[in-house]
A and B are shown apart, each in its own frame.
Chain A
């Protein structure tokens, strides 16, 4: 008979080890899934996790992709992690990402064809504000009316997608595109472009912003009283209230920061790798970032590594699609599985496992 005994404090060893074990278990379970699809599991895992970085044939293309894909994931996940720590669940980052991209792109296109160097910083600010404003809807509804922020932020993703569809086909459509949907290309126009900063690395302004966010979040969580309040509110809400932490202020702050960062991520994407507002430029980063935040243990440094790993599965997944004909959704299932294993293994850091005799109970 197995019995769980609560640890007085979570185990530090298992806290660090669970992501690694979860990745290994996901590789095994994913291998089984690929075998069921009739593909060679060992080759599939190698193509996903090894070839994008080290194969002579593909690495030159896929290495820069690593930062391109990790950038938005890390930027969004950092924002989400603050709220998740405080027990404030913004799961609508995908919507904030879309609205940020639309606002930023709209700002840039309003000055078209100017190439003024101030336009791009303005676009970034517009993106931040757009994502922030979209996240303020669930935040204000929560603080004013106690409406559940999980449901509102998520439902707003579908509203954002409807707005995106009308932007791409109607009011942001490229007037010179002869009726084709999609805005003007931002990345090929100087002034509105988010270029590769160091050739061959995939580094663009959004990746830089993600690195800055990691450092800022690290300082905030470990050195600033606000970080302490966030952690306190998550672990002991009652104690936090006695300590003078204003729950409504935390809701506005956490949702606001995560919305702004998601909005910025959307702007960097649409002015760089995606290039334009199109009906499906958003590729689910806002949802995958939830997995990144948990895989990184809601810790800034952990999120950095988790974002890179998740980016690797995206790139490796595309490669596996090309080489082995593994269907694209397999990777999404694979990423979901990773979160399952991670959550399942968490029991090891919070509880001690005891093998007790039946009679003793």
Chain B
């Protein structure tokens, strides 16, 4: 029965985010050129590529975090469930509630563990009372595989946790707003191998509920956690396809050079 459910989920490949001819400029610098991507629902999509290739920049376009960078301009069309997210009618604040983000460096707020997770539900008014909020916090911490470690010290500062725990707290915080898409910008680059393994396991579990987009420098990680992979190089999307195909049978010579370690 469980296997059957998993099957149907993998088969249900509806397009969540669609980018067409996306361009990003930082002042005069043309950072992203003509990127066309379909991010599928309930799938982990990995963005790989050498440093400075624009994968993080493109990730930040998907929830308009680039709006906070002065001099940054986005052109082309990016839609979330068919709605243009750069349309003037879209409120970026609401958009970011739907497209959550986990950052490279764990960035827990200077608040208690409980308040960190409750932050999103509180500002968006997702719960009616304290008991409901408690439930949400517990559920999110359980999903982030952190509950057992912190259930006795929910009121201690989130900054007091270890690096791996902090990153899982940030993931719990991001899923507490019940987003539809979760963007992760190198979520494991500041973590040790054990914490990395925990976070990767978590990403795999999250796939059942969200569409996850992860930027990573580790090709092993991309191969382990993702179903689809996009390779970026010098601001261009070079190749996008099934993860297995990208790593075993790349179509573009640049992709092959990168995954075999010749460019980077």
A, B assembled together: no
User: Which residues from chain B sit less than 8 Å from chain A, CB to CB?
Assistant: none
